Amino acid sequence: MIPFWRHRSFVTGMLCGGIVIGFVWAASTWLNTTRKTREYDQCLVAQRGSTMACDAIMRMRDADERLKKQ
């Protein structure tokens, strides 16, 4: 049988690990969204506000990045 104090420290470690993983996930999601928004804003300025052109450019950039990863 596992002593109670070891069980409690295991649960505490699991809880802290889960919180750290949550923070890392949230930070990476937030940074990625911020980068994409900035790129889209710059595209809108370059294309004089044409959302259709910027959507097409962003899709081409995403496809190019996926091909480079392969």
- Determine the Cα–Cα distance for residues 26 and 17; give it in Å rounded to an integer: 14
Domain that holds residue 39: 34-70
| Any domain includes 5 | no
For the chain, what is the domain count? Answer: 1
| Any domain includes 3 | no
**Res 33: pLDDT:** 66
Q: Is the pTM of this model over 0.75?
A: no
**Res 19: pLDDT:** 94
Helix (H/G/I), strand (E/B), else coil: 36: helix
| Any domain includes 21 | no
**Res 15: pLDDT:** 93
| Any domain includes 7 | no
Give pLDDT < 70 ranges for the chain.
1-6, 32-35
**Res 8: pLDDT:** 79
| Any domain includes 4 | no
Could you give phi then psi for residue 20, rounded to 5 degrees? -65, -45
